[in-house]
A and B are shown apart, each in its own frame.
Chain A
Amino acid sequence: MGLQAYLTLAATVFCIGLFGVLTRRNTIGILLGIELMLNAVNINLVAFARFSGSATGLIFTIFTICITVSEAAVGLALVILLFRVRRTVMADHLDLLKG
């Protein structure tokens, strides 16, 4: 399997994640979509590292995984606080920025 197959997989996962972010009404679902998009990036990085013979991509991936975990923790904490205040986690209802 060549590099293209990995990149196609990553693109597919990224699009699934983006679709989830754009269409899910539940905030937790949106967070899941973001995780998918980040992992698609990871697949890209690892694939490039594997085919170029450089370790840079691997190290980037380690960082990204750390950040993803932290982001998930912060994101879930925000969702819980949001639920306490607004009694809802539906993204449609969170429109205080409306012009």
Chain B
Amino acid sequence: MTNDPGVIALISLLLPAAAFLILAIVAPLRRLGRPGAYVSILCATGAFVTAVIAWQGHADGLVSKLAWDWLPSQGTSLATVGVLADGDSTLMLMLVTLVALLVQVYSLGYLYDERPPALGRYYTYQSLFAFSMMGLVLAPNLLQLFICWELVGLCSYLLIGFWYQKPEAARAAVKAFWTTKAGDVGLLIGIVLLWRQAGTFDLTELRMMVTSGALPLAGLSLITFCIYLGAVGKSAQFPLHVWLPDAMEGPTPVSALIHAATMVTAGVYLLHRTSWLFALTPDVLALVAWIGAFTALLAAVLACVQDDIKRVLAYSTVSQLGYMMAAIGAGLSAAGFFHLLTHGLFKALLFLGAGAVIHAVGSNDLSRMGGLSKRMPQTAVLFIVGTLSLAGIPLFGGYLSKEEVLGAVLAGNQIGPFVLLMVVAFLTAFYMFRVVFLAFFAAPAARVVSGFGATHASPLHNPSHGGHDGPAKAGHYVPHDPPASMLLPLYVLALLSLGVGVYSTVIGRVMSFGPVTSGEEHAPLWLTPAAVGLAIAGIALAWLTYQRRTIDAARLAAAFGPIRRAALARFWLDDLYEGVLGIALFTFSRIIGWLDRYLVDGVLNAVSDRTVSAGGVLRLIQTGRAQDYIYGVAVGLLIFILWMRWALA
């Protein structure tokens, strides 16, 4: 057994690939459903175990890089494929494999009444996703990273559209694919431009060039901006965030894995991996910080008015991604990466908890829940752990990373984004506890006027789709805690979120990377009390509004009338895009249609018309009278004879 973390990480990477190949090629196994699922879960377990070993093997600070030549060009190779196992990538690898494993186990319970072939298809996609995401994390060069980047996008498309018979799911899948693709074009352009400038795709070589100052700075802002565009699409930053809430049409475990913990954080990870490059372009970094903070605020406001539990979580994910981006923009990407890791744990927990609730109630709609804490006490406790972590309450995982991010943004002298993020901290606590109180504690029967969300659903949200998600039949069914296969992943995630928080707070920082460098040294003393105070204020407001009903939800809604209306319409961004795209496409189609009708068809019609009319003239020669033909023969002969005489003369 080798101790090289690179080799172990490679084994870890190849296990899901093997599972995918087996399931993809051996069709009978896939159609059996459950046995195929076990193969996938077995490989995911192996991948997680090897990932942990690789992370521990790296503990000595050893960076291991395995690379094979690829794309040979004039004696050398244009690019390599392989794995780069260092502190960040093995840590991220561990998170990815852990969440992938837990989600696959959870899916066994969640999708228990899915037809076997569909279940097999689901696990095939899951394995492919795990492989692609791990390939992205371990990529030693930008080209491999881009390929895996596109692969995870494909898996996202396939899994959002898993219930492809549902029109909304199919639409959401296409929307997600195209929106992220818009950013990916930027990423590809950025990578190619960088290659032209530096002559290599390799991350290690690039970093050496940057540190030695060999990389020319001219035009670098454009390159980093293009790379950032890719991250904007993938990590759902404003203005390309619109796909993520719609992506909730997929099965809930998929949302937990792809659209909360792993794939959407790929953009943050990419920026973290190339943070030394971004450090050279402070103007782009400032943009990253501002966009991140603005996205965080926008999504937090949107989350306050959603009545769909998954959509609240989706907007919350967008908001937290904004947090991470803001930290990266402030120049301290380690803080953003730390938040990425803790967020991966507690957001997966929240999504899986929400999945358990949806599974039990048979609806996504918050107004159809309530009083669930008595029916499903374990789920309630676990969900609250996740919520407290997200809200940033001390001793929970999210608290530390949130403080790091806030400290980093402040240390980076980004006062504007910092203020926005503080507001978001308040809103986060408010909207998450609104969900907790409405779902778990409010009176179940009462039709609650649900705050900003009021009684009617958002106009763009199809209220009927909740019924399809989760197998329970509402009404004839008493909600209860989910089976062990679903509870176990929840416990693991809850213990980890709690464990990371408690361990780090009480015993000290354990993470080998340096979040300590920023927040701790530079953050003023008032930061922690202020952030925690805001979070508690948010919780208190939610409690007063939705639990005690001291504050009338309707009056609160009325106080924020215009904002609420705008948020219900998603700030008209979706309408705007649809409108602009519609008009653009419509105009384009009109032009193309005109060209086709009048230019292409016109030429053909003209040719055929001329042919017909020429025939009309020519047919007059054909009189049908034998004498006329003889006339022609005689005259022709005469001309021929005369011509012969003339020619021979």
B630 touches A (CB below 8 Å): yes
Q: Hey, what's the 0/1 contact readout for A16-51 against B, CB within 8 Å counting as 1?
A: 001001110000001000000000000000000000
In the complex, the answer to whether A99 meets B619 with C-beta atoms within 8 Å is yes
Q: Hey, what's the 0/1 contact readout for B614-649 against A, CB within 8 Å counting as 1?
A: 000011011111110011001000000000000000
In the complex, the answer to whether B634 meets A97 with C-beta atoms within 8 Å is no
A94 touches B (CB below 8 Å): yes
In the complex with contacts A21-B630, A22-B631, A91-B625 CB distance below 8 A: yes
The binding surface of chain B is classed by DSSP as helix
Instruction: Kindly state the separation between the CA atoms of A78 and B121 in the bound complex, as whole angstroms.
Output: 83
Q: CB within 8 Å of B: which of A47-99?
A: 91-92, 94-99
Instruction: Kindly state the separation between the CA atoms of A97 and B634 in the bound complex, as whole angstroms.
Output: 19
- Nearest A-chain residue to B629, judged by Cβ: A97
In the complex, the answer to whether A97 meets B630 with C-beta atoms within 8 Å is no
Contacting residues, chain A, for B618 (C-beta < 8 A): 99
In the complex, the answer to whether B622 meets A97 with C-beta atoms within 8 Å is yes
Contacting residues, chain B, for A18 (C-beta < 8 A): 634
- Nearest B-chain residue to A99, judged by Cβ: B622
In the complex with contacts A18-B634, A21-B630, A22-B631, A99-B625 CB distance below 8 A: no
Contacting residues, chain A, for B622 (C-beta < 8 A): 97-99
Q: Tell me which of B619, B621, B624, B634 contacts A22 (CB under 8 A).
A: B634
In the complex, the answer to whether A95 meets B623 with C-beta atoms within 8 Å is yes
Q: Hey, what's the 0/1 contact readout for B433-467 against A, CB within 8 Å counting as 1?
A: 00000000000000000000000000000000000
In the complex, the answer to whether B634 meets A94 with C-beta atoms within 8 Å is no
Contacting residues, chain B, for A95 (C-beta < 8 A): 623-625
Instruction: Kindly state the separation between the CA atoms of A17 and B444 in the bound complex, as whole angstroms.
Output: 117
In the complex, the answer to whether A91 meets B619 with C-beta atoms within 8 Å is no
Min CB distance B632 to A, Å, is 11
Instruction: Kindly state the separation between the CA atoms of A99 and B623 in the bound complex, as whole angstroms.
Output: 7
Min CB distance B157 to A, Å, is 62
- Nearest A-chain residue to B620, judged by Cβ: A99
Contacting residues, chain B, for A91 (C-beta < 8 A): 625-627
Contacting residues, chain B, for A96 (C-beta < 8 A): 624
In the complex, the answer to whether B634 meets A99 with C-beta atoms within 8 Å is no
Min CB distance B437 to A, Å, is 91
In the complex, the answer to whether A94 meets B621 with C-beta atoms within 8 Å is no
- Nearest B-chain residue to A30, judged by Cβ: B627
Instruction: Kindly state the separation between the CA atoms of A10 and B626 in the bound complex, as whole angstroms.
Output: 25
Contacting residues, chain A, for B625 (C-beta < 8 A): 91-92, 94-95, 97-98
Instruction: Kindly state the separation between the CA atoms of A92 and B634 in the bound complex, as whole angstroms.
Output: 19
- Nearest B-chain residue to A18, judged by Cβ: B634
Instruction: Kindly state the separation between the CA atoms of A98 and B631 in the bound complex, as whole angstroms.
Output: 16
Instruction: Kindly state the separation between the CA atoms of A91 and B624 in the bound complex, as whole angstroms.
Output: 10
- Nearest A-chain residue to B631, judged by Cβ: A22
- Nearest B-chain residue to A93, judged by Cβ: B625
Instruction: Kindly state the separation between the CA atoms of A92 and B627 in the bound complex, as whole angstroms.
Output: 8
Min CB distance B619 to A, Å, is 4
Contacting residues, chain B, for A97 (C-beta < 8 A): 622, 624-626
Instruction: Kindly state the separation between the CA atoms of A18 and B627 in the bound complex, as whole angstroms.
Output: 10
In the complex, the answer to whether B623 meets A98 with C-beta atoms within 8 Å is yes
- Nearest B-chain residue to A25, judged by Cβ: B627
Contacting residues, chain A, for B621 (C-beta < 8 A): 99
Instruction: Kindly state the separation between the CA atoms of A30 and B619 in the bound complex, as whole angstroms.
Output: 25
In the complex with contacts A18-B634, A22-B631, A22-B634, A99-B624 CB distance below 8 A: yes
Min CB distance B151 to A, Å, is 67
Contacting residues, chain B, for A23 (C-beta < 8 A): 627
Contacting residues, chain B, for A30 (C-beta < 8 A): 627
Contacting residues, chain A, for B630 (C-beta < 8 A): 21-22
- Nearest B-chain residue to A92, judged by Cβ: B625
Instruction: Kindly state the separation between the CA atoms of A92 and B623 in the bound complex, as whole angstroms.
Output: 10
Min CB distance B622 to A, Å, is 3
Q: Hey, what's the 0/1 contact readout for B339-380 against A, CB within 8 Å counting as 1?
A: 000000000000000000000000000000000000000000
Instruction: Kindly state the separation between the CA atoms of A96 and B630 in the bound complex, as whole angstroms.
Output: 16
Instruction: Kindly state the separation between the CA atoms of A97 and B619 in the bound complex, as whole angstroms.
Output: 11
Contacting residues, chain B, for A98 (C-beta < 8 A): 622-625
Contacting residues, chain B, for A22 (C-beta < 8 A): 627, 630-631, 634
Given contacts A21-B627, A30-B627, A98-B624, 9 further A-B contacts (CB under 8 A): A18-B634, A22-B627, A92-B625, A94-B624, A94-B625, A95-B625, A97-B625, A97-B626, A99-B621
- Give me 23 A-to-B residue pairs in the complex whose CB atoms sit less than 8 angstroms apart, sorted by A's number: A18-B634, A21-B627, A21-B630, A22-B627, A22-B630, A22-B631, A22-B634, A23-B627, A91-B625, A91-B626, A94-B624, A94-B625, A94-B626, A95-B623, A95-B624, A95-B625, A96-B624, A97-B625, A98-B623, A98-B625, A99-B618, A99-B619, A99-B621
Closest 10 CB pairs of A and B: A99-B622, A98-B624, A95-B624, A97-B624, A99-B619, A95-B625, A91-B627, A22-B631, A22-B627, A98-B623
Residues of A within 8 A of B (CB): 18, 21-23, 30, 91-92, 94-99
